[in-house]
Amino acid sequence: MGPVTRTIRALFALMCLAAPARAEPGPAPEGTAQTFVIGYLRRAENRTAISRVNLPAENDGQAGAQAGLDDNNVTGEFLGQIFSLAAHRLKPGEDPAQALADLEAKGARFVLADLSAESLLKAADSPAGAGALLFNIGAPDEVLREESCRANVVHVAPSRAMLADGLTQYLLWKQWRKFVLVVGSHEEDRLWAEAIKRAAARFGGKIVEERMFADAGGARRADSGVTLVQKQIPAFTQNAPSYDVMVAADESAVFADYLPYRTWDARPVAGSAGLVPTAWDPSYEQAGATQLQQRFERRFLRPMTALDMNGWEAARMIGEAAAHEAAGDVAAAKTYLLSKDFALAAFKGQKLTLRDWNLQLRQPILLSDGRNVVSVSPQEGFMHQFSELDTLGLDRPETKCRLK
Amino acid sequence: MPFEMTLSDSRVDRPRPSRRLLRKLLRVRATAGFLGVLTVGPAFATDAFVSNEKGNTISVISVESMMLKKTISVGQRPRGLVVSPDQKTVYVALGDADKVAMIDVKAQEVTGDFDAGRDPERLDISPDGKTLYVTNEDSNTLTFFGIESKERLGGARLGVEPEGLAVSPDGKVIVATTETTGMAHFIDADRRKILANVLVDARPRMAAFTPDGKEVWVSAEIGGTICIIDAETRKIVDRVRFEVPGLRAENVQPVGINISRDGKLAFVSLGPANRVAVVDVKTRQPIKYLLVGQRVWHAAFTPDGKFLLTANGVSNDVSVIDVAALKVVKSIQVGESPWELVIPGEAKP
């Protein structure tokens, strides 16, 4: 399905959603519409989860981007602008630089990237990357915002440090100061644990013990079910020093979801299970969010995830640039997104803006228990001279990013 | 409601105790003031109707005594309110029931309701009282209903999440804002067609015409501004910006706009800043910030223009502002999550 067919389908879907007997929208004269092809580049590998209710949908992230383009297209009817999505999913071993070049050949200058840090840098540093503005929606790695920051990569996804700071502020507000940190055996688990340790040190929490949960391999689901887990987890968590909360660093989804209700001591769990910091949660209803949730669910027949929200926000950022006549080229869009005129309304209770030192989107962090949003960080009392949102993540004075 | 008290008290909310004290002090002074109002008050009973978004009720406040008088159960998620030009009926948008309910001002009872399309949020009415305008937030539509027939007359397709509504003093033009699209749409009230689309700052919530009909003021909740649009050229001519001492810019989120009948002062509700800004309409500069309850949404003048009542969504109360003194003189506890209020004047034949 080509981008044009996709647009027609998107517009048709929009028309179906609108009230049955609608009046004229007052469209721009035919033939004068400005068109924007937005690229979407996806990693080859599937994300996984322990609980089957958390297994991502086939269109996780891309549906969010499409929802953002749908919203842009409604506005576009009044401005004579049409947005379409050109999506490509990498095959295992496929070169992301070539994939980006292929998207560029289809006219995409703005490209949403759900890629690993390594693939993202490969794409950004390629010849095709030089003429593109990439929107990182799927990689939380600090290094992309720090030592390896790039002038052509905007980070919509919150970084691990932002997520860890958002969680830790709340834990300390609750006066749960003593953490037992349980870390998985994969590299991304270690990086997530680093962010939690940094947050604890920064805000006055204490890691009283750190344990590693080794991934012994094997399937996450087995016919023998929870019997084994029920024996394994209490044993694994016993003999801990006095603590308030168990914080799990398990991005690889190997063990964290097994911790709640099974710890040796009766303690809450946070981090990768229990109370989880996130960019979005399908239960979130504040600041008018219900409308976006309903719009998304009607269109895609499933709840909206954090990756979807990152995609929506990226698409809306491009839409805002276009509405303000700043999407003609990549440089103009970047200038606009960094200007004082840019403010993204994303149902998070305050405007989202870009950090000019590393192109990271400033944003509140939601804390979800999997059913409801328990709180939204930054917490009250965590002050900042410029923006309280900058109490989340590495701040300007700490950054190692030098944008060229 | 002990549960609620624990929730709000456990929040680290520093200004609260001091404001309580302040309010207590003000209340003492206010009592004296209101005795005066009582004696010179209008002959008809003036009541304020407050929509409680979470409580699913309408609180009725006696303006003479500034006391809660009655609570009316009204249906799921009442938000937008408008008074009929004859001052006899209050229309209530019920967002989760997809209906508009009617309340008889005198009897203070719900007299009926009708289907109003998906998620009706705000309401306005034509000056002749014949047509009700409804923004359907969930279906990108401004819908026109015949007041007599309660039938849908037609609609105008707008941007994403229509919300704010204003009708020009001559009734010819309707302005509707769309939150995610970020526009003020000018609509021909007779032909139900869009005349112009004006891009404004982020998340426009409310529109208001100046009494002379020459300007449209649009509040941008996330943008933190009021965009002033020339009603003739339909272009932004200026912006009002707010700087509340001691508050971060992102907490200043303009929503409600109430312009005094003489067109001199605009009162802008600043949401989580817990303040109402008083703006000199001529110079377009804020001249004072009045501390009201928490998360102030919308407000309404008493028919004599002497007081402005504000609906405070988080503290579940209504603040009373003395317009001449530019002071908050009282707060009145109402239902859960008050959102908008209207104060009908003397009924017309």
**pLDDT, position A303:** 98
Ranking A132-136, A221-225, A293-297, B114-118 by mean pLDDT, the lowest is A221-225
Instruction: Quote the CA–CA distance of B66 and B330 in Å, as a whole number.
Output: 8
Residues in B closer than 8 angstroms to A389, CB to CB, are 250
**pLDDT, position A346:** 97
Mean pLDDT of A38-66: 94
A78 and chain B in contact, CB less than 8 A: yes
Percent over 90 (pLDDT), chain B = 83
**pLDDT, position A386:** 85
Ramachandran class of A83: left when φ > 0, alpha when ψ lies in -120 to 50, beta otherwise: beta
DSSP letters along A316-373, please? HHHHHHHHTT--SSHHHHHHHHHSTT--B--SSSS-B-B-TTT-BBP--EEEE-SSSE
Residue A17, pLDDT above cutoff 70: no
Per-residue confidence at A25, pLDDT binned at 50, 70, 90? Answer: very low
Residues 6+ apart with CB under 8 A from B55: B335, B336, B337
Instruction: Quote the CA–CA distance of A347 and B39 in Å, as a whole number.
Output: 47
Ranking A351-360, B134-143, B260-269, B300-309 by mean pLDDT, the lowest is B134-143
**pLDDT, position B4:** 39
Ramachandran class of A393: left when φ > 0, alpha when ψ lies in -120 to 50, beta otherwise: left
Q: How far is B222 from chain A (nearest CA, A)?
A: 5
The nearest alpha carbon in chain B to A16 belongs to B139
Mean pLDDT of A115-124: 97
- ipTM (interface predicted TM): 0.82
Per-residue confidence at A404, pLDDT binned at 50, 70, 90? Answer: confident
Residue B278, pLDDT above cutoff 80: yes
Residue A329, pLDDT above cutoff 50: yes
Residues B311, B314, B319, B323, CA torsion sign: negative
Which of these, B336, B320, B340, lies nearest to B73 by C-alpha position?
B336
User: Could you give phi then psi for residue B136, rounded to 5 degrees?
Assistant: -100, 100
**pLDDT, position B23:** 55
**pLDDT, position A8:** 45
| Residue B306 host element (H or E) | none
Per-residue confidence at B10, pLDDT binned at 50, 70, 90? Answer: very low
Mean pLDDT of B244-266: 93
Residue A222 CA: distances (Å) to CA of A228, A230, B250: 10, 14, 49
**Which residues does residue A82 pair with via DSSP β-bridges, in sequence order?**
A35
Q: Which of helix, strand or coil describes residue B240?
A: strand
**pLDDT, position B19:** 53
Residue A324, pLDDT above cutoff 80: yes
**pLDDT, position A2:** 44
Question: B80-106 pLDDT, tens per residue?
Answer: 999 999 999 999 999 999 999 999 999
Q: How far is B34 from chain A (nearest CA, A)?
A: 36
Domains of chain A: 3-158+281-363 (3.40.50.2300), 161-278 (3.40.50.2300)
Per-residue confidence at A13, pLDDT binned at 50, 70, 90? Answer: very low
A63: amino acid identity, one letter: A
* Displacement of CA A325 from its chain's centroid (Å): 27
Q: Which site among A73, A350, A374, A382 would you substitute to test the B interface, given the most B Cβ atoms closer than 10 Å to its Cβ? A: A350
Residues in B closer than 8 angstroms to A324, CB to CB, are 199
> What six digits make up the tokens of A74?
């409604």
Q: Check if the beta carbon of residue A378 is closer than 8 Å to that of residue A279.
A: no
Question: B145-162 pLDDT, tens per residue?
Answer: 999 999 999 999 999 999
Residue A20, pLDDT above cutoff 50: no
- Nearest by CB to residue A21, choosing from B137, B155, B272, is B155
Residue A51, pLDDT above cutoff 70: yes
Residue B272 per-residue DSSP state: T
Which of these, B295, B332, B299, lies nearest to B317 by C-alpha position?
B332
B254 and chain A in contact, CB less than 8 A: no
Q: Is the peptide bond between A378 and the residue preceding it cis, with omega within 30 degrees of 0?
A: yes
Question: Are the Cβ atoms of A78 and B159 closer than 8 angstroms?
Answer: yes
Mean pLDDT of A356-378: 97
* Displacement of CA B294 from its chain's centroid (Å): 15
Which ranges in A106-213 belong to alpha helices (H)?
117-124, 127-130, 160-173, 187-203
* Displacement of CA B46 from its chain's centroid (Å): 18
Which of these, B114, B111, B85, B81, lies nearest to B97 by C-alpha position?
B114
Residue A288 CA: distances (Å) to CA of A33, A183, A258, B179, B278: 31, 36, 34, 10, 26
Residues in B closer than 8 angstroms to A350, CB to CB, are 222, 250-251, 253
Question: Are the Cβ atoms of B155 and A323 closer than 8 angstroms?
Answer: no
Question: Are the Cβ atoms of B248 and A388 closer than 8 angstroms?
Answer: yes
B53 and chain A in contact, CB less than 8 A: no
Q: Which site among A16, A22, A72, A313 would you substitute to test the B interface, given the most B Cβ atoms closer than 10 Å to its Cβ? A: A22
In terms of pLDDT, which residue wins out, A228 or A16? A228
Q: What share of chain B is helix, strand, coil (3-state, %, to 5)?
A: 10, 50, 40
Residue A215, pLDDT above cutoff 90: no
A105: amino acid identity, one letter: A
CB atoms under 10 Å from CB of B110, counted, come to 17
Mean pLDDT of A215-223: 70
Instruction: Quote the CA–CA distance of A315 and B31 in Å, as a whole number.
Output: 54
**pLDDT, position A322:** 96
Mean pLDDT of A160-184: 98
Residue A221, pLDDT above cutoff 70: no
Residues 6+ apart with CB under 8 A from A356: A338
Residue B308, pLDDT above cutoff 70: yes
Residue A10, pLDDT above cutoff 60: no
Residues 6+ apart with CB under 8 A from A350: A364, A389, B222, B250, B251, B253
Residue A1, pLDDT above cutoff 60: no
- Nearest by CB to residue B193, choosing from A19, A26, A387, is A26
Mean pLDDT of A70-80: 95
Residues in B closer than 8 angstroms to A21, CB to CB, are 152, 154-155
Mean pLDDT of A164-172: 98
Instruction: Quote the CA–CA distance of B165 and A328 in Å, as a whole number.
Output: 33
**Which residues does residue B162 pair with via DSSP β-bridges, in sequence order?**
B178
Which of these, B161, B168, B66, lies nearest to B122 by C-alpha position?
B161
Per-residue confidence at B20, pLDDT binned at 50, 70, 90? Answer: low
Which strand ranges, in their side-by-side order, compose the sheet holding B78-83? B78-83, B89-94, B99-104, B109-115
Which strand ranges, in their side-by-side order, compose the sheet holding A110-114? A81-89, A34-42, A110-114, A133-136, A153-155
Ranking A64-68, A197-201, A381-385, B40-44 by mean pLDDT, the lowest is B40-44
Percent over 70 (pLDDT), chain A = 90
Residues 6+ apart with CB under 8 A from B22: B291
**pLDDT, position A115:** 98
> What six digits make up the tokens of A131?
């003429």
Mean pLDDT of B9-14: 38
Q: pTM of the full predicted structure? A: 0.86
Question: Are the Cβ atoms of B138 and A295 closer than 8 angstroms?
Answer: yes
* Displacement of CA B252 from its chain's centroid (Å): 17
Residue B271 per-residue DSSP state: B
Percent over 90 (pLDDT), chain A = 82
Instruction: Quote the CA–CA distance of B190 and A316 in Å, as a whole number.
Output: 34
Ranking B1-15, B101-115, B198-212, B262-276 by mean pLDDT, the lowest is B1-15
Mean pLDDT of A35-51: 93
Mean pLDDT of A116-132: 97
End-to-end CA distance of chain A: 38
Instruction: Quote the CA–CA distance of B32 and B35 in Å, as a whole number.
Output: 5
Residue A58 CA: distances (Å) to CA of A30, A84, A278, A303: 35, 20, 20, 13
> What six digits make up the tokens of A38?
């937005």
**pLDDT, position B6:** 37
> What six digits make up the tokens of A160?
């691990």
Residue B31, pLDDT above cutoff 80: no
Per-residue confidence at A60, pLDDT binned at 50, 70, 90? Answer: very high
Residue B27, pLDDT above cutoff 60: no
Question: Are the Cβ atoms of B12 and A381 closer than 8 angstroms?
Answer: yes
**pLDDT, position A210:** 97
Q: How far is A139 from chain B (nearest CA, A)?
A: 26
